[in-house]
Amino acid sequence: MLNCFRRVHEFNVAFILKVGFSLITATNSLWIRFLREKYRLTELLPLSIQRSSCTPLWRAISKYWDTLRHGVAWSLGSGSSIHPFHDVWVPSLGPLLCHLQPDALLSPIGSFADLIDSSGNWDRDKLCATFHPEVVPHILGVKCPDSTDIPDQVIWRWTSKGNFEVRSAYSNLASGSWDPNHVLWKLIWRMAVPQRLRVFLWVVSRRKLMTNLERCNRHISYSSLCPLCSGADESIIHVLRDCRAASEVWELILPSTLSLSFAQPDLLTWIENNLRSGMIHTEWDIPWSFIFVSTIWQLWKSRNDFVFNAILHPKEVVASRAMTWARYYSGCCPPRNSFVTLHCEPRTWRRSDPGWICLNVDGAVSKGTNAGAVGGLFRDHSGAWIAGFQQAIGKCSPLHAELWDLFIGLQYAWELGLTILQIQTDCKEVVNMIYALDADRSVFSLVRAIAKLRQKCWITDIIWVPRDGNRAADMLAKSTDCSALDMLRLLTPPRYLIPLLQNEATAAVFI
């Protein structure tokens, strides 16, 4: 019950944060403008809403304003509204004041202009002299501000697109309540059974099932004895396996091959071994994991019927229901060793129209270090190599890596004088962002920079292609040296790429 109240409280706080975030970012809502004017909401920490005479909504927002500030970050535009050290503009790090070198001289640095070199890029020497070495790659993964860009914008740190989602706020508020690296996490939540059974399994594995023993531990019951046998405390393992009522059901279901190893002393080990089991019950031809989940669920339901409705189900009825539902669950998903053969046309590189130059781009991010790299190549209509590039981009998210490869590719294309260009990427999300009506006002500075580049005197078309049709760019991105922050211009194709280019040139398809 207390756990349920905590969940409800976290949901309520998440919705309060949504209202607070709207007050910071929304500009077109009449209600938001009215509240801003009424309470003089102009700063990120409005002291005016902490007055005792405020409405309950405003008192709630004031109470959780520090939590809201922790989730708020800035998206760099012109950089005029952001302090380089005190404000959060690298979402993965927080305020950079906590990551300074011990001997860093802050007095000469008053704005972002002091951290940018004459070419408009980050001054790496100054960054290395100011911040810890592990912080610099994160900064390099952010596009530096441009004085001609739109004003800086507030974004939500915990989503990839920068927009507020109640789900993301709740996940951060309740992050201590679960562990995705738990040994049973994937086993339970990937089970092809109804959601209520997955929730039941997770509650059992967390030892939160409301047995008499658990109720006594929470001081909401006086007796911890099992109501069916009265011979032991009603613990979770007793309810699901060791009680006489449960063991008699298991005797009807359990195959002889599992009878010796079934009684594991530890609850979590018992659950994990049975969920991992790949055995097929020979009599009913049903995977054992489905039988196990269905049986413990029926045992718990039948016990509740006895406690609350005074109905005692015979063991044969419980076993029959368990097997019936297990057969249904197993029939709702393909067998473990089965596969479906799909007959489809082979996917390969797509030729552009005659007269167009094709640019394939791709980004790659290391799962362990978050180090990003991009790669791309230019080809004519026949597939002949024109040029290519590789570049490391610091540490960033996969979405930002896909935006970086498009931005760098367009810059290089303009440098080469390629004026009729078709860009192929395997990231649909990037294509949708670029073709959005508000792309020139996007919260992502890279999207705005790409939109600005496309307004030059040339013709550019950006399309999505399957990953199999973008393998050459993928190989270039993944083979990039992550320490090489300067762009490597490839006038000739690397040796490892030549066989693929030759195959794609002969097997290419028209769009």
pLDDT at 376: 97
pLDDT at 420: 95
Q: How far apart are CA 385 and CA 498, in angstroms?
A: 10
In this predicted structure, the answer to whether residue 1 has a pLDDT above a threshold of 70 is no
Q: How far apart are CA 131 and CA 142, in angstroms?
A: 15
Going 489 to 490 to 496 to 501, the CA torsion angle's sign is: positive
Digit-coded pLDDT (tens) for 252-261: 988 877 766 6
Instruction: Read off the pLDDT band of 107 (50, 70, 90).
Output: low
Please tell me whether residue 229 adopts helix, strand or coil conformation. Answer: coil
pLDDT at 430: 95
Domain boundaries, the chain: 2-173, 193-331, 350-510
pLDDT at 338: 37
Q: How far apart are CA 205 and CA 188, in angstroms?
A: 9
pLDDT at 416: 95
* Highest mean pLDDT: which range of 24-38, 152-166, 194-208: 194-208
Mean pLDDT of 185-205: 88
Instruction: Read off the pLDDT band of 40 (50, 70, 90).
Output: very low
pLDDT at 73: 87
In this predicted structure, the answer to whether residue 275 has a pLDDT above a threshold of 50 is yes
DSSP-assigned letters across all residues of 120-170: SSB-HHHHHHHB-TTTHHHHHTSPPP-TTSPPPEEEETTSTTS---HHHHH
Instruction: Read off the pLDDT band of 368 (50, 70, 90).
Output: confident
Write out the two tokens for 38: 């009424």
In this predicted structure, the answer to whether residue 300 has a pLDDT above a threshold of 90 is yes
Residue closest to 393 by CA, chosen among 366, 374, 409, 376: 374
- pTM for the model stands at 0.70
Which CATH fold would you assign to the domain 350-510?
A: Nucleotidyltransferase; domain 5 (3.30.420)
In this predicted structure, the answer to whether residue 51 has a pLDDT above a threshold of 70 is no
Name the average pLDDT for the chain: 83
CA 221 to chain centroid, in Å, comes to 41
Mean pLDDT of 327-332: 80
In this predicted structure, the answer to whether residue 181 has a pLDDT above a threshold of 70 is no
Q: Are 288 and 275 in contact (CB under 8 A)?
A: no
In this predicted structure, the answer to whether residue 340 has a pLDDT above a threshold of 60 is no
In this predicted structure, the answer to whether residue 311 has a pLDDT above a threshold of 80 is yes
In this predicted structure, the answer to whether residue 509 has a pLDDT above a threshold of 70 is no
Q: Are 62 and 49 in contact (CB under 8 A)?
A: yes
Mean pLDDT of 357-383: 93
> Which strands sit side by side in the sheet containing 371-379, from one edge to the other?
459-464, 420-425, 357-365, 371-379, 385-395, 488-490
* Highest mean pLDDT: which range of 2-11, 26-35, 174-183, 378-387: 378-387
Q: Are 327 and 286 in contact (CB under 8 A)?
A: yes
pLDDT at 26: 58
* Highest mean pLDDT: which range of 63-67, 284-288, 495-499: 495-499
Min mean pLDDT across 77-81, 153-157, 171-175 is at: 171-175
pLDDT at 254: 84
Q: Are 13 and 19 in contact (CB under 8 A)?
A: no
Q: How far apart are CA 359 and CA 389, in angstroms?
A: 11
